[in-house]
Amino acid sequence: MKQTALITGASGGIGMELAHIHASKGDNLVLIARTKEKLDALKLELETQFGISVYNISLDLSDTDAPKKIFNELKDKKIHIDFLINNAGFGDFGVFAECNWEKQSEMINLNVIALAHLTRLFLPDMIKSKSGKILNVASTAAFQPGPGMSVYFASKAFVLSFSESIANELKGTGVTVTVLCPGATATGFRKAAALEKSRLFTGKQIASSREVAEFGYEKMMKGKIVVIHGFMNNILVQSLRMAPRNIITAVAKMKLKEK
């Protein structure tokens, strides 16, 4: 019997690559994103290439009613979710006191509330069936404060802590939770967050979305909890555990500035 993966933020970047990976394994898909045209094109491509079934839902997950709408629609369609991949998210660069609050609020709704709500909705059925895997996409930003992107860094810290907590709660249930923490990755995130000229992205080799997606998929299937993509990113995170917080904060601020 085929399994089904629900992937948010599936129209591009890591989410789209995860859709390709799951499809190549024979999994059916539920794809969530705002842009209907991109989802429709991806559905046609994956169904034609892999002979699977793709069900699209086009909506904005920053709408607080969106998770419940998704859950109810899939219940009506009798679609059981075996893999829940909370990938959707965005960032924004700027000093908090001068930021656009509506955009920050949307970021919290998407990066934090939608992720937690979808997990709460789909988790009981996974526990009941004693099977299921959840992949939450965080970031190496989760391990440090981020002056200039304060809300984004804080939202990813929530994803990390939340994922570790429920992974512990779920021991022995047959359900696993993995939190993927990539560093700078070649996706649309850089442009959307106005970071094209920051030190975070310039002058270094950036991981591809495919590399990060393959890494995340492999670790999810093994039931790993916290997974950090890239050797240097692992070194960075380990160094953050030992360095004074004021120095960590200052370095993060410097990296986000234009080169």
Token pair in block for residue 77 = 């369609």
Nearest-CA neighbor of 208 among 15, 46, 21, 13?
A: 13
**For 45, what's the count of Cα atoms within 13 Å in the CB-facing half-sphere?**
14
User: Do residues 144 and 248 make contact, with C-beta atoms less than 8 angstroms apart?
Assistant: yes
**Site of tokens 């997950």:** 61
Report the distance separating Cα 180 and Cα 213, nearest Å: 9
**For 256, what's the count of Cα atoms within 13 Å in the CB-facing half-sphere?**
23
Report the distance separating Cα 183 and Cα 172, nearest Å: 31
Beta bridge partners of 51: none
Task: Give the angle 28-38-3 at the CA atoms, nearest 5°.
Answer: 10
Region at 82 (left for phi over 0; alpha for psi -120 to 50; beta for the rest) = alpha
The active-site residue, picked from 122, 143, 152, 153, is 152
| Residue 217 falls in the annotated catalytic set | no
User: Do residues 111 and 216 make contact, with C-beta atoms less than 8 angstroms apart?
Assistant: no
Active-site residue set: 152
